[in-house]
Amino acid sequence: MATEPLSGVRVLDLTNVLAGPYCCYQLALMGAEVIKVERPGSGDLARVLGADPDRNKAGMGISFLAQNADKKSITLNMKAAQGKVLLRKLVQSADVLVENFRPGVMDRLGLGYDVLRAENPNLIYCAISGFGQDGPRRNDPAYDQIVQGISGVMSITGAPDTAPYRVGYPLADTVGGLTAAFAISAALNANPRGAFLDVAMTEAVVSTMGWVVSNYLLGEVSPTAHGNENTTSAPSGTFATSDSPINIAANRDEQWQALAEHLDREDLLVHPDYRTREDRKQNRHSLRQELERTLVTRPAADWVRELNALGVPAGQVLSVPQALSDEQLDRRGLIGELSVHGEDMRLAGSPVVMNGERKMPQAAPPALGADNSAIWSELGMSEAEIDTLRKEGII
């Protein structure tokens, strides 16, 4: 069996809710040993978040299950003097520590990077925050929607008469988590190891807005909301059919010509409003109406099949349940099944297929403190000492 890419790497996951846990989940899927360090009694807030109240009461909320498989869980009160000692000892055996507290919290606890680096000079310390470790917003609370707003994403999402709109899932948390996982993987390849990684969710999101940002910085075009229209070309966007919408991206002239001919609308090819690329962009809304006169006569699946065969990119607009049951996702095995405390559950694996294999979670998301005995005894504590720590609320 091939060695996992991050086999032998120990990650201390001090994070909560989404950005940090998602980051560490990606590392776990690639073979890292991820030890989730949680607050005694309550743990990660995501344990009580999600659509199933019964799971929330049990401390295994759906929001927690989504990105905490393949991890171990220990509990530790880092505010207590003994808790600080234990974390410093644990850091000695770690390669990576990830936290997503507000900037300065770990320093105030006496557990900041300089302190932990003294325990382990090779430690890769990754701090994920909304706005970064310095700057005028460093102390502001940063939830996903706050970051979506401040990054400019909401201003360009929706139609001109509906924007600003938030993206329909926690975009900033997820992009921030992916950015942190990428940075950690790069730092693990450095020689010698040891780094402080400052990952700001806002900056991670702005970085992914490449064309939008460059159009403003280089082209002096102020970005605005365009709904489902692709601002760089036309006809390129979402179109109505007889049953459900489809996306069409006729971005090249030959694709535009093939589309018009297939719809028996050759008249549009010579119409002065649509003759050139720039003409079509200027008159995109009237062009969409003209094309929909034909598109609404037949169902989406027929148009998608025929247009793709002609080299005109097209695809149906699916609901999340439809996307998850789509033959393409099913064939490639993104969603796997895992037994979680006696219940079969479907969870997403790694978005990366490596050498023909997709990394899937092998172990269920852990119960709070499930690995206390194993991890703390590894540091030389007896079961009696561990039990005392439990009684004192240290773990």
Strands of the 236-239 sheet, one edge to the other: 236-239, 246-249, 314-316
Is 13 one of the annotated active-site residues of the chain?
Answer: no
DSSP tag of 102: P
Using DSSP's 3-state secondary structure scheme, residue 383 falls into: helix
Q: Which one, of 131, 114, 132, lies nearest residue 123 by Cα?
A: 114
Select from 142, 132, 184 the least CA-distant residue to 24. 184
CA angle 287, 290, 292 (to 5 degrees): 110
Q: Report DSSP state, residue 298.
A: S
Residue 341 contacts residue 48 (beta carbons within 8 Å) = no
Choosing from 114, 161, 173, 279, the catalytic residue is: 173
For residue 164, cis peptide bond before it (omega within 30 degrees of 0): yes
Q: How far apart are CA 222 and CA 117, in angstroms?
A: 44
What residues are labeled active site? 173
